[in-house]
Every structure is written in C-alpha cells, then in structure tokens.
Amino acid sequence: MSNNEFALPDVGEGLTEAEIVSWAVKPGDTVELNQVICEIETAKSLVEIPSPFEGEIAELLVETGTTVPVGTAILRMVGDGDGGDAAPAGGTERATAPADAQAADSATGQVADTAAAPAAPAADDEENSGAVLVGYGTGGAVKSRRRPGGQPVISVGKAETEEPPVAGKVYVKPPVRKLAKDLGVDLARVPGSGAGGEILRDDVLAAANGSAAPSAAGGAAAATIHTPASGFGAGQPREERIPVKGIRKVVAQAMVASKFSAPHTSVFVEVDATRTMKLVRRMKASDTFAGVRVSPMLIMAKAIIWALARNPEVNSAWGGDEIIRRNYVNLGIAAATPRGLVVPNIRDAHQLSLVELAEAIGTLTQRARDGLTQPAEMQQGTITLTNVGVFGVDFGLPILNPGETAIVAMGSIKEKPWVVKGKVKPRMVTTVGGSFDHRVIDGDVISRFVSDIAAALERPELLIG
C-alpha cells in the first residue's frame, strides 16, 4: 500500500499558479486512473484534472477557492500504486505533468484537439513509467469529438470509446459553472436538463430563482425563469470588492505592459464594404460553404493576410536590439467570453483556403465561448483581429497584444450615404484600422497596410484566385 501525493501540474506553457475551483471527489472515495478529481482555473482557462493514481482519497490538501503555485500537493491518496512507479523510501510520491502538455478539455473531460498520436502507454511500460494522465500522455496528440446525442467520443490514437453518463457525476460547461459560482448555486443540487444530464444555463438560473428547471425534453418550466437583476437598486450592497485574479489579472498586466512599453500609433479609414456584403451573401448560398459560418469577419481576416503579404514588415516583433520578422501568420481573434477577453490564434492562417479559414474561425470562437481555450492556443500570435462592430460600435482604437506589432479593428457595417461616380448613393460602410508599434514600422508602411485592407474590402475579388 503506497501513500501518494498529487502535485498541481503545469497544464499550460509556463503556468505558475491556479485556483482550485471545485473538487469532484472527497475523502473516502475510490478513484480510477484518469478519473477527473478536480477543476482548476488558470490564468486563461478552466481545466479538469484527471487522477494519475488508482486508490482511495485520504485527504484533500487544498480548499476550493484557494490559489496555489504549480507543484503544490493538492491531495493525498492511498492505494496499491498501480497508477505510477513505486513510492520512494520516504513513502510519498508526487505526480506532475510536463510543462508542454496539452490540457484536458474542461467541459467534458475530453482531451484537447491536436494532431493524431499513439495511444497512451500502460502504467507498467518500462520506457514510459510513471502516471499517464489523459491529455498529458507521453506521445503527444489526441483528438476528441461528439457523436449525435451529445455523448463525447474520446480518441487516443486509433482507439475510441464512448463515455456513458455516470451516476452522481455533474456534467457542466465552464461558463455555466462560473455562472453558478457567481449566483451561489450548488451544482450538486441542480438537476441537469441537457443531454446525458448536463446542467445548462437555464437550469442554473432556475435554481437561482427557486423555480423548476426545464424538462429534459426541452420544454419550458412551469415557473417563469427570470435572469438575475442588474444595475442599481434594492438588495445590492453599496460597494463590492472583486478580487483581481485569473484572466482579469493577466489581461490587466498584459495591457499595462503593452501600452507603456510599445509606442502605439493608430490609423483608420472608412470603407465602402458593399461588395464584401454581396460576396458574403453569395458565399452563404453556395454549396462550397455549406455547414460553415460565413460573415464579413471572414473576409476581413482574409484581407489582413493578403495585406500582410504585401507589407511583410507589419508581421514582425520588437526584440530589443533586433526586429523579428515572422514569415508565417498566426492570426489572433479577440473573443469576448463569459470569463473575459481571450485571444486564441489560428496557426499558419496564411496557408488556409477561404473555406478552411471559415472553419478555423468558427471552431476557435466556439471553443472560446465554451471556455475551452487552452493557454497554448493563445501563444505565438503574430497579428490580432478584433471585431468591435458586433457590439454596434463604429470603431475603437485597441491596445496591442504583447509581442505583436499590429492589431486590426473592424467597426460595425451600416448603410450610409456615399458618393459613387459623382452621385450620392446608399452603401454599406464600415471603418477599419488599428494600432501599431511605431518602433517596428513607420507611418508609410502602416498607411499602406491599412489601405490594402480597405482595398480588399472594397474589391473582395482581389482575395479570390
């Protein structure tokens, strides 16, 4: 019988600390290898942590809501040591994940989507001894997807298993879990109306209002569900103190560092996007784009890539005593999520066709909304696109993403009077532009780059061919 301590692993690249959001186990529970034991919140994402051991939970060493450094022992387990190497002479062994590991998918326990990889080795494999956590592994890549009905299919190499609902297990996505935490709702007492017993947003709101949840078949609850009151009024404290942590802390630090280290300069221009809007309508009706989301943002993304090819200096970074020119495009997409702003990027976006780019944007934004974006997906970006137009804003001057020279913004597209060949006509008009690091590029390069984006939106046929 061994006595195992599990240390908080680094589930991203360079993670230093994380908050224990919830425990999925308690002392006395018997757990299996790779069973989810807790959920943690890192600086950028919510991650479910699987157990590296089999055995019985002896003690939870960290309370929920506590932030601890990577490497801190968070639980102690007693067992026969089947999940890892034999304990050292001191009677205690610790399991940690490699720093470059890919984290488990936080909503369902699926592993992060990457390229195909060999199956995880057995615990008694001499060349790969030690506990192997789903999503960390020693090989590399794994894939996940869902089958009709919402049940996850977990794929490791060529092996595939469908995970059935487990009695007593709470299925809930990170944004819904965050909502429950904010409203003080105990998820263990909330019946899930989603597929496989998943707890949905409406279930949490119903519990917060003391009303019945919607039926599993999707019917409306007998009692009316009201969203929590917002604004000022009775029942609210005069002041609230909200700890700065997690994603808000990281965003704040990054924005201060960027704003006060890189000399920002901004250029913007109004654009007649009428042809772009016509192209979007044709693409939506085309069989080629069936099943993917087509929007003006897709054309904007393609226009940025096209303009970068004509102005490669923009795709650079300040390196102190050198300028780093990147001959590839990792296009960041700024996404507003329930947890705050995240900027995952599309790797090698310059190599994608318009259809592939549409699919990539759709996948990236959906993962961000679902709270599934992992730290590795937000690193090594070369340029960022932010679409403030979705909020009805004409334009805004954004702050550079650290390590990048340009962030491009797109405003709302509205019908406005526009002079065409000497006559005033109604046209679909938007504003494009952005902020740029003046240490790396000068005003002429910046202006040409923005003008090229505008030209591509006015004549999107330039992008196709």
**Which residues carry out catalysis?**
438
Placement of tokens 């399991």 in the chain: 95
Planar angle of CA 103, 105, 106, nearest 5 degrees = 105
Q: How far apart are CA 198 and CA 336, in angstroms?
A: 24
Q: Are 54 and 83 in contact (CB under 8 A)?
A: yes
Which residues make Cβ contacts (< 8 Å) with residue 393, sequence separation at least 6? 411, 412
Which among 117, 103, 10 is positioned nearest to 48, based on CA atoms? 103
Tokens representing 80 are 């026969």
Helix, coil or strand: residue 76: strand
How many other β-carbons are positioned within 10 Å of the β-carbon of residue 110?
23
Q: How far apart are CA 390 and CA 369, in angstroms?
A: 15
**Residue 310 to residues 116, 158, 178, Cα–Cα distance (Å):** 35, 43, 44
What letter represents residue 361's amino acid? Answer: I
Q: Are 56 and 78 in contact (CB under 8 A)?
A: yes
Compute the radius of gyration of the chain from its Cα atoms. 25
Helix, coil or strand: residue 228: coil
Helix axes 201-208, 174-183, angle to 10 degrees: 10
Tokens representing 140 are 């590399």
